[in-house]
Structure 1
């Protein structure tokens, strides 16, 4: 009997894995019209507690997954579109969308998993249904185009859980019932597939690369809670360092672009353990910064940076995201400050240069920065002049002592007549 049960579980698990090798197709409709359509494969990695230790469950989105019609929606004037997929006993994956008129994005990625599912979570220490959420995951596309990303894209959703999408073709706010033939290709795919055009070289004079923009202007940005109080404060200069294929120069170029505070709109959100600052410049550049709080150590850090750029000289919208960063570390109840220029590496094709940064994403009171913790670079730069000064003072003292000793000896060599 035990052998039969174990064999049946093994067969189910084997069939499940076999069934996960193909992408699933998901649609959200209103009447006969499709507003969201996705073709994708997804895998999950979840760390959970047992009675004695921790384990990591790895499983796939099955072919039998279905759109939850009661939770999915095409959206209204007061609510956002949602694609919610249910599978297995109590598991669900949700994608919430937003748009600024020219671009649409996955604004929220939600994962619900049921620890009482012993096939996926053997020896789980509880039978809870857990829900984890991540905002600004970095899936962006131009309106009326299909977001395409064949490369695996991993997104952390907190609580030791992550989702990896691959073979993804997705469109929201659809004007027709099928995916658009025009595609917005993710950066990972561009790095693989983008190659210089094979057509004849243009006869026009090559466009000179833009001159360096200089030091960016320092802007002050804030995010408010629902009650209107400031929950995140930031004052800094920001410069984007982006590599992309240039249409005018017919090659891959690296461009420095400053964010101008006067041309930038601010949005974001504040949660107990995470906060985000979203900066949008002229509707063609969107930079998202995500901060995470470790409630155990009472320390926070910049954990995620996402950039979407749709510049006129690009072959396709540029997207880059990294949600596993560890920058701008400070203590809860204090602000982070760094006057020195820093380069925050995000992905090989994108880094963020920061200038004169002061930021506080948690526990902002009276709309003012709390006492600042200075970065190591500033402390080192302050320490160097002190060390040099002390060394010079010591050298002067040694020379003076040597002079006095030499003078005393020279006097001792003469006799008074």
Structure 2
């Protein structure tokens, strides 16, 4: 734990800011802000990353992902007093800052707004940016939480504005902590409520749609990757077919890898692959480590523009697919179905993924799915059966030939 002593604030005494940085459990960041009596007054832990699209000097566009917060500082973070509302103020990288503002009402508090600033004069992150200087994106949130509750949102939340996409997940936050004790009573975001009450973990069947979708041909296989400061950290090859049912109307969408962008991030215990395109707002595959020796697909989040102009969005963070040992990849050449909910399934083809322990940008030895293993087993069995049948045919032909030969040499 690292503590920063801040300057005195009128009416609040001397504040101590204590930080726990790095991957604590599965969390990238954790903040415990205390008051003059060393009692917790604001608590938060969360994961996040940012994707920034900027114009280059040759009038093209590039995208950068920001997910390294290892050297973050929190100078200016504040519990609040009679005249000022609480803030989380975070600085990281070269000229990045992130501010969350809270506000108090009679029996609740607001996660009021989020501000993110970045400096395109930083030639390391934006080496060829056309416009130089500090740019700020302000997003009004206005999320209301009961005063004595801790807000929880394990699902992925996204803010998009002015060429900046902000991703948040595994969020726990409580402003105005009462009596120095963080509450155990959780107030869930809508996505977590949906997953808890309506989204089945692994549904056994899909509701029959009123309209039968037009059959689609097999989707093209795409190659996707995620890069961190240490090089390629996630690899994925797969053909993807989305099956969506909304208002009893079924749709089938094949993802075209040639028009699909891949971003994401990698951490020690979690990894994210985000796909986006002209008709796909986002399709997220979130991987996790279990038992310190295996990985699996834990979560899928999707938001897709349908042909009727509506938007279909759903999430499930309680999946269990594509299980394989750490240090290896997972492979399934045969068609496989990931059931995210009763209304949304993903068919995969020629699948191979490795979200952890990628060495030199190459796949490690693959663990095959049971469908492929069964196929590999059946091939030699089929060959053996065919050979056995051939031997029987030859043997019968030989016996028939001998019988005819004996018949021709009978005495008269």
> TM range, normalised to the smaller chain?
0.5 to 0.7
Q: Partners of 2:346 and 2:388 in 1: how far apart?
A: 42
Q: Partners of 1:415 and 1:293 in 2: how far apart?
A: 81
**Match of residue 233 from structure 2:** 231
**Match of residue 159 from structure 2:** 98
Q: Quote the RMSD (CA, aligned, Å).
A: 4.5
Contact 2:233/2:355 (CA < 8 Å) preserved in 1? yes
Alignment map for 1:148-163 (pairs within 5 Å): 152-154=193-195
Q: 1:394 aligns with which of 360, 363, 388?
A: 388
SS in 2 for 1:76: strand
Offset, 1:105: 7.5
Contact 1:102/1:283 (CA < 8 Å) preserved in 2? no
Alignment map for 1:239-258 (pairs within 5 Å): 239-245=241-247, 252-258=248-254
Q: Partners of 2:312 and 2:102 in 1: how far apart?
A: 22
Within the alignment, does 1:383 sit opposite 2:385 as a pair? no
Q: Partners of 1:384 and 1:302 in 2: how far apart?
A: 28
Alignment map for 1:26-105 (pairs within 5 Å): 64=107, 66-67=109-110, 73-78=113-118, 93=152, 97-99=158-160
Offset, 1:94: 7.0
Give unpaired runs (5+ residues) of structure 1. Answer: 1-27, 39-62, 122-136, 140-147, 155-163, 167-185, 187-207, 246-251
**Match of residue 50 from structure 1:** none
Aligned length: 275
Q: 1:220 aligns with which of 206, 219, 223?
A: 223
**TM-score (ref. length: structure 2):** 0.55
Q: 2:267 aligns with which of 255, 264, 271?
A: 271
SS in 1 for 2:116: coil
Offset, 1:357: 1.1
- Per-residue CA shift, 1:8-61, capped at 9, x if unaligned? xxxxxxxxxxxxxxxxxxxx999xxxx9999xxxxxxxxxxxxxxxxxxxxxxx
SS in 2 for 1:74: strand
SS in 1 for 2:337: strand
**Match of residue 306 from structure 1:** 301
- Per-residue CA shift, 1:236-288, capped at 9, x if unaligned? 1111111224xxxxxx4211111112221221111111111111112643111
Alignment map for 1:291-370 (pairs within 5 Å): 291-296=287-292, 298-314=293-309, 316-370=310-364
Q: Partners of 1:411 and 1:77 in 2: how far apart?
A: 97
**TM-score (ref. length: structure 1):** 0.54
The 1:403/1:357 distance shift into structure 2, 3 A limit, reads same
SS in 1 for 2:398: helix
Q: 2:277 aligns with which of 278, 281, 284?
A: 281
The 1:358/1:84 distance shift into structure 2, 3 A limit, reads farther
The 1:120/1:339 distance shift into structure 2, 3 A limit, reads closer
Offset, 1:97: 4.9
Within the alignment, does 1:107 sit opposite 2:168 as a pair? yes
**Match of residue 44 from structure 2:** none
Contact 1:85/1:94 (CA < 8 Å) preserved in 2? no
